[in-house]
Amino acid sequence: MQAPNPSPLDSARERFRADLVDAGLLIPTAVPGLYGRSGVLESIIDAVDARIRRAGAGAHGSTARVLRFPPVYPREAFDRTDYIASFPNLTGSVATFRGDDRAHAELLATRAEGGDWDHFLEPAGTMLVSAACHPAYPTLTGTLPEEGALLDVYGYCFRHEPAIDPARLQAFRMHEFVRVGTPEQARAHRESWLPRALSVLTELGLDAVAAPANDPFFGRAGRMLASNQRTAELKTELLVRLYGDLDEGTAVVSCNSHQDHFGSAFGIDTADGAVAHSACVGFGMERIALAMLRTHGLSVEHWPAPQRALLAVG
Ligand code: ATP
Ligand code: ZN
Ligand code: MG
């Protein structure tokens, strides 16, 4: 059977991906959505991050607590996030070999015959981080001070969503500013970051618009959650059109309200004894860099002067 023709949008994405690979910016692997990054791409990401950190300092001075986590965190904490209920299909878990010599010999014999050896591995007690903010919540269990908590988290995330679209990666970085506190503190955080994030994108020369959004909650029950999230305006995305009219827009930044989801999951209370609310703004680092390459061209020497200047100081 012949594969159906790709849509014009898919073809455009495939061309952009091929161009990025030909230019040496993305280094492909055998798995879709998993790439190495060139020095130039990393320098764009660093420059974007310098601009994001400047916006963070402008908003919060030096009050945001900087936290950097590895891309792997405890399964026990993962379980509390409820991610497995909402996004089982995006989840990544770490497995390892815990058997004895005999089991190892069996594994090697199976492997020598060309068989699958994955079933010899067992859960290692760790999961891949799905959103940069997730490993931060266990650090807040207990009662928050009056002013709540304000975190600056930056790290690699894993989501099993293999795609040709070079902007949909299985492993990518997210820089987040997270507020945990009263409902008002969480709301104010989200509201103040929307225009701030838009102005960061404008300075990067990106034409972004804000739009209400929802997460792709899994299954039939998930459709209800998604529609509730959209109606309650709990998620706003900043979208950049990478392919003109073909494209509804790619989310380069998301502002999310979690209400009391993480507060109740991780036992975080406000100073007045209520369950804490939280909100975060997440910058998709690779997506922003790719959006700049798409908008300004693949050779940074030919970028407009203001964006070249950002790279020079980044
Ligand atoms: P999308 O709707 O495109 O799937 P999302 O709603 O899942 O994005 P969030 O979970 O809010 O995204 O993550 C915050 C940011 O991380 C997004 O705005 C985006 O820039 C980036 N991001 C999310 N998923 C990916 C991915 N698979 N590859 C690269 N960047 C991503
Ligand atoms: Zn977050
Ligand atoms: Mg998604």
pLDDT, mean of each 10-residue run, the chain (314 residues): 81 98 98 98 98 96 96 98 96 98 98 98 98 98 98 98 97 98 98 97 98 88 86 91 94 97 98 98 98 98 96 70
Q: What is the pLDDT of residue 183?
A: 98
**134 Cβ inside 6 Å of ligand 1:** no
Q: Does ipTM come in above 0.85? A: yes
The residue whose two tokens read 């898919």 is 10
Rounded to two decimals, the pTM is: 0.96
pLDDT for 1 equals 57
Residue 295: predicted pLDDT: 98
What local confidence, expressed as pLDDT, does residue 214 receive? 87
pLDDT value at position 287? 98
Atom of ligand 1 nearest to the CA of 251: 18
At 35, list the tokens.
């790439």
CA of 216 to the centre of ligand 3 (A): 6
- Structure token pair of residue 25: 């910016």
Whether the CB of 287 sits within 6 Å of ligand 1? yes
Q: Which pLDDT tens digit goes with each residue over 80-113?
A: 999 999 999 999 999 999 999 999 999 999 999 9
DSSP conformation letters of 198-262: HHHHHHTT--EEEEE------HHHHHHHHHHHHHTT-EEEEEE-SSGGG---EEEEEEEEEETHH
**Which atom of ligand 1 lies at the shortest distance from residue 161's CA?**
27
Residue 2, pLDDT score: 60
The response to whether residue 10 sits with its C-beta less than 6 Å from ligand 1 reads no
Domains of the chain (ranges, CATH numbers): 8-92+130-310 (3.30.930.10), 96-127 (no CATH)
Atom 21 of ligand 1, nearest CA residue: 284
